[in-house]
Amino acid sequence: MLQQYYLKKGNRPMTSRNKPIFSIIPIGGLGQIGSNMTLISGMTESLIVDCGILFPNEDSYGINYLIPDLDILEQSSPSSLIITHGHEDHIGAIYHIIKKFPNIKVLASPFSSKLIERKFKSQKISVKIHPIRPREEIIFSDFSVTPVQTNHSIPETFGLFFKSKLQSFCSLLISDFKFDDKNPYESPMDLNYIKNISQNFSKRLLLADSTNIKSKNEKTPSEGDLITTFESLFSQNYKRIFVTLFPSNIFRQKTVIQTAKKFNKKVIPYGRSVENYLETAIDLKMIEDESGIIKSVKSINSKDDNLVIIISGCQGDFKGALRRVASGEDPYFKIQEGDLFVFSSTPIPGNEKKISQIMNKIYESGGEAITNSDCLVHASGHPGKEDLKILYDAFNPTDIIPIHGESHLLNAHKDFINELFPDIKAHVIYNFNSLLIDNNLEITTINDPPKPPLFIHGKEVLLEKDCLKQRRKLASSGCLFISIKIESLGKKRANLKLEFFGLPQLIQDKEDEIKWLINNYFAKTKIKLFEKSKEELKIEIRRFCNKLLGYKPIVFIHFI
């Protein structure tokens, strides 16, 4: 399979001296933040690592999320999908993978499985998920994969160690990670395993996270480092403390719950997302002591003070509980003087302004807000330069592909490698490029152009690019719907109806003038083709509007 692919790309026919044995094609996540997905192929079998979604920009025109164009997967018909961890940018597109490959085998950790199953339930599909565990090797036809324990901002995050059966080649894909030996809730990254196993191979290819390569934090703080800050905050004389965080960060939720207990405060999870993740963690016995948790917000009253509210919406989402509370629209929580809001999170690029607006509303209502720039209330899940060095030291790679990051970060990661590790070869590739390893352990890259991502709106429905363009036009110019009765065209005044939508009063007041303009057109024009008249009328009406407004609304005309 890999050989056909290689030939198809216009390469010289292979001899036994350069036969590709392994290939890596990133389908998403390289050059952008989100939609992480990688196609890994041995000589006769392919698998997909992760299948995430990309969150849309602000001007999303209703789009819920984006996914990579999956057509490229067809020629490989992957046998399996392996999930490294349960974040949406790694599991969110699983519905679309299963629709395309109904028989694909899905492998994930117990916690990730639970999150995927929750997703399946709402999407009304059902697929068996095979559990995977660290150090337990999974065998494929000519290579194997072994999950490796690592640390991140969600439990059960794995690196994947690929081992060729035939050649002295191995590869370690660690999409999202940090090295955290002070996390009280999980063991640190399994450096011993990485160190021991990699030394048996002469070619060692590492794929590693570039997210924080430009961060000022050389070493990413530990989840454990935050406990002191929370203890200090919870010991102070605040009325109520709202903590907003990435809800999938069960460690963080645990820290908040345990610290609250220490200071005799009750905890309320508030917002669907926080509640769901917490429930999953409790189900899996990741959180065992529930005694301080109030399950229903209805059981408290507005005078209750000694409360910690873990609240959804840390990215300022319009429908999030945090925005609702901040803007005074929440039925249960109204901000009072003495309330503290802890932003135990960081803005995902693009959300800065929304979050800032929420902070403004908190202050305008008499509350106070603390972010990570005031004190250590958030620890990233991604590696600083020091974390990367720890990983490089353990795996001792001959080659690195910077992954998980925008293009400028992948390049900064490459510069970092070139500067500090001149013996390691860094390969910057982007989505839809391929990297091939042949039987001489030589690496070739093929730079196919990336295909644009697909837009998903509503019940996992594809919204074609043209429709999105139409929505953009509607959004920025409003519309005018005109129906004209054909039989009335001979008369002095045609029978016609006008309806404005999304257009200012200024032009709505000109209805009579637009009607006059239409009648005048019919008076001077002999109609041969309705389609032609429609276009001519549209041009006239749009021109009329443009003179008054400075822009042209979309005009629809029906002759009936």
171-230 residues in contact with its own copies (CB under 8 A) are 214
Span 433-452, contacts to its own copies by CB under 8 A: none
Cβ atoms of residues 119 and 91 within 8 Å: yes
Beta-carbon contacts of residue 489 (< 8 Å; ≥ 6 apart): 522, 527
Out of 227, 463, 489, 527, point to the residue binding its own copies (CB under 8 A).
463
End-to-end CA distance of the chain: 57
Stretch that binds its own copies, among 43-51, 77-85, 300-308, 360-368 (CB under 8 A): 360-368
- Please answer whether residues 506 and 548 qualify as being in contact, where contact means their C-beta atoms are separated by less than 8 angstroms: yes
Q: Does 542 bind its own copies (CB under 8 A)?
A: no
Among positions 32, 38, 113, 248, the unique one binding its own copies when judged by CB under 8 A: 32
User: Which of 18-26, 358-366, 391-399, 531-539 is the region at the interface with its own copies (rule: CB under 8 A)?
Assistant: 358-366
| Shortest distance in whole angstroms from residue 364 CB to its own copies | 5
Q: State the pairing for strand pair 30-31/479-484.
A: unpaired
Neighbours of 307 (CB within 10 A): 18
Q: Are 151 and 189 in contact (CB under 8 A)?
A: yes
Site for its own copies in 33-62 (CB under 8 A): 57-62
Burial of 387 (0-12, 13-18, 19+ CB in 10 A): buried
Pick the closer one to its own copies by CB: 51 or 326: 326
Contact window for its own copies (CB under 8 A) among 100-108, 243-251, 378-386, 546-554: 546-554
Considering the complex, what minimum distance in angstroms separates the CB of residue 470 from its own copies? 4
**Minimum distance of its own copies from residue 111's CB (angstroms):** 28
Least Å distance, CB 74 to its own copies, is: 20
Q: Is 352 in the site for its own copies (CB under 8 A)?
A: yes
**Rounded CA separation 1/140 (Å):** 15
- Is 139 among the residues that bind its own copies (CB under 8 A)? no
Pick the binder of its own copies from 362, 417, 437, 454 (CB under 8 A): 362
Helix 250-262 and helix 272-283, axial crossing angle in degrees, nearest 10: 90
- CB 137 → its own copies: shortest distance, Å? 37
Report the distance separating Cα 76 and Cα 22, nearest Å: 13
Question: Judged by CB, which is closer to its own copies: 75, or 360?
Answer: 360
Q: Does 519 bind its own copies (CB under 8 A)?
A: no
Positions 56 through 95 that interact with its own copies (CB under 8 A)? 57-62
| Residue from 13, 28, 9 nearest 446 by CA | 9
Q: Shortest distance, CB of residue 437 to its own copies, whole angstroms? A: 24
- Sort strands 20-28 and 37-41 into parallel, antiparallel or unpaired: antiparallel
- Nearer to its own copies (CB atom), residue 131 or residue 504: 504
Nearby residues of 192 by Cβ (< 8 Å), 6 or more positions away: none
Q: Is 504 in the site for its own copies (CB under 8 A)?
A: yes
Alpha carbon distance 523, 427 (integer Å): 69
Q: Say whether residue 123 binds its own copies (CB under 8 A).
A: no
Over the range 492-503, which residues count as b (16 or more CB within 10 Å of their CB) and which as e?
A: eebebebebeeb
Cβ of residue 550: shortest distance to its own copies, in angstroms? Answer: 3
| Residue 336 sits in the site that holds its own copies (CB under 8 A) | no
- Which range, of 7-15, 111-119, 170-178, 402-410, touches its own copies by CB under 8 A? 402-410
Segment near its own copies (CB under 8 A), from 152-160, 254-262, 354-362, 438-446?
354-362
Kindly report the length of the chain.
560
Residue 93 backbone zone (phi > 0: left; psi -120 to 50: alpha; other: beta): alpha
Only one of the segments 193-201, 274-282, 367-375, 519-527 lies at the binding site for its own copies (rule: CB under 8 A); that segment is 367-375
Element (H, E) at 20: strand 20-28
Which residues inside 467-496 make contact with its own copies, applying CB under 8 A?
Answer: 467-468, 470-472, 474-479, 481, 483-485, 495-496
